[in-house]
Amino acid sequence: MTKAKKIAQKGLAKILRNRKESHGKLITDKSILKGVEVSDAGNIDLWICPPHPHCPCCLDGLIDLRNEVNAHKNILACHIEIIGVPQSERWTAAINE
């Protein structure tokens, strides 16, 4: 494991530890956070299944999450992939634009 990967993992864990989605459920709940991958360079990929796929505040919350992760000084980039909801590719595009 590279030093960059280890530092990025710690930074992401700190961000996600107590973060809640817009309706009060922890983002780290198994029903929401479906996968995490940290590259050796410090890039983050998250797979998320929003609990309320028709709620605009969930979209805003995920955009805020991505911005916070991207703003972390030891994380190079963050990509959030939305899964398990209708038109998930549109959610993914909106969050990562």
Q: At 79, is the pLDDT very low, low, confident or very high (cuts 50, 70, 90)?
A: very high
| Phi, psi torsion values for 44, nearest 5 degrees | -115, 135
Which listed CATH number (3.30.70, 3.30.300, 2.60.40, 3.40.50) goes with 3-96?
A: 3.30.300
Four-point Cα dihedral 57, 26, 65, 55, nearest 10: -20
User: pLDDT tens across 34-66, in order?
Assistant: 999 999 999 999 999 998 888 889 899 999 999
Looking at residue 53, its pLDDT comes to 80
Looking at residue 55, its pLDDT comes to 84
Looking at residue 1, its pLDDT comes to 81
Looking at residue 66, its pLDDT comes to 97
